[in-house]
Amino acid sequence: MSDKNHQSHTCEYQIRIDGNPKHYASSIGQNEIDLWLNLCAKNPDCYIDIARVNTHIVMCQADYHQMKRHFAK
């Protein structure tokens, strides 16, 4: 397992049209604001938003080994 990349907590932004992601970004800058404004203008009957999506690792392989040691039958 040492040659694999471990996932970590992440935060990204999505520009969404009616809840469907259309653009992903790691931060919000002028380009993202311009894109959001453009999408709002072109889609007046839709709900356009920018959402922050956070990923938090709840359990990982190390947790599995600890659980296995204590609870495996």
If one compares 1 and 34, the residue with the highest pLDDT of the two is 34
Say if 29 falls within a structural domain: yes
- Give residue-wise pLDDT tens across range 19-39: 999 999 999 999 999 999 999
Burial category of 15 from C-beta neighbours within 10 Å (exposed 0-12, middle 13-18, buried 19 and up):
buried
| pTM flag (> 0.85) | no
pLDDT of residue 3: 66
Q: Is residue 54, in this structure, part of any structural domain at all?
A: yes
Instruction: Assess if residue 3 is contained within a domain.
Output: no
- Report how many domains make up the chain: 1
C-alpha span between 30 and 27 (Å, rounded): 10
The predicted pLDDT at position 66 comes to 83
Flag whether 59 is in a domain: yes
Q: Does residue 33 lie within any of the structural domains?
A: yes
Query: Can you give the residue range of the structural domain that contains 46?
Result: 10-71
Residue 59's contacts (CB-CB under 8 Å, 6 or more residues apart) are: none
Residue 15 lies in a domain: yes
CB 48 within 8 A of CB 15: yes
